[in-house]
Amino acid sequence: MIDIRNFYKSFGKLKVLDGINIAIDSGAVFAILGPNGSGKTTLLKSILGMVIPDSGVIRIEKKSIIREWKYRNKISYMPQVANFPPNLKVREIIKIFKIFRSEISFEDDLIKSFNLESSLEKKFSTLSGGTKQKVNIVLAFMFDSPIIILDEPTTGLDPLSLIKLKKVINDYKDLNKTILVSSHIMGFVEEISDRIVFLLDGKIEFNGTVDQIKKNTKKNNLEKSIAHILNNKND
């Protein structure tokens, strides 16, 4: 579904992505991990068309996306911060998204699942952080997009909402969607991910399954495996 080859990007003298090669399949959850400054945000923005590489190519369904825009209709994006006009009601925000996308939407079940019925007539600025994030989830999953990108999707969620988010992700994976996730919550990543790309200083330090990284580092969970890699790099 997504193929990234020989991808380089610098901002001035700072080399942010240094020869990235990744193949991301459909019907899988792909986690893009790394410490702050590792290049993961730049990589996600590149897939979204917000960053143009110095060299290299990103292909979606075998077609280059560089300086293209129509492919974005195939992507649903959940930003880390739900930053929508504060005076708009939740129902109005959903309506605007439906106008822009001009396709069938499936928000009703999501609204019910995340208990947002009572929030639909509230202004976005009056919502709690957790409720804003649930609105963010609805907007990301309400269209039949083949690619879904989630940037820190667990922020502010209570345990019950987190369980529901995991179910939504798994349901969409079963529908053969390509799901990219960036998160600092390693327990969440370990539970939902099929493959992990761990970036460090703009290069791929690991690309494989959770079981593979635990086996390689001889650790019993993902968090300890990541810590082991970072400690070895700092030694």
Residue 234 has pLDDT above 90, yes or no: no
Read off the pTM: 0.93
Distance (Å, rounded) from C-alpha 123 to C-alpha 140? 19
Whether the per-residue pLDDT at 1 is higher than 90: the answer is: no
pLDDT at 7 over 80: yes
Residue 121 one-letter amino acid = E
CA-CA-CA-CA torsion sign (82, 87, 89, 95) = negative
Query: Using one digit for the tens of pLDDT, what is the confidence trace for 52-85?
Result: 999 999 999 999 998 898 899 899 999 988 889 9
Domain enclosing residue 149, as ranges: 2-234
Can you read off the two tokens belonging to residue 31?
A: 């986690």
User: The CATH number of the domain where 221 resides is what?
Assistant: 3.40.50.300
Axis crossing angle, helix 210-217 with helix 222-234, rounded to the nearest 10: 50
Helix axes 129-141, 90-101, angle to 10 degrees: 20
Number of domains making up the chain: 1
What is the CB-side half-sphere exposure of residue 94 using CA atoms within 13 A? 27
What is the tens place of the pLDDT at every residue in 137-173? 999 999 999 999 999 999 999 999 999 999 999 999 9
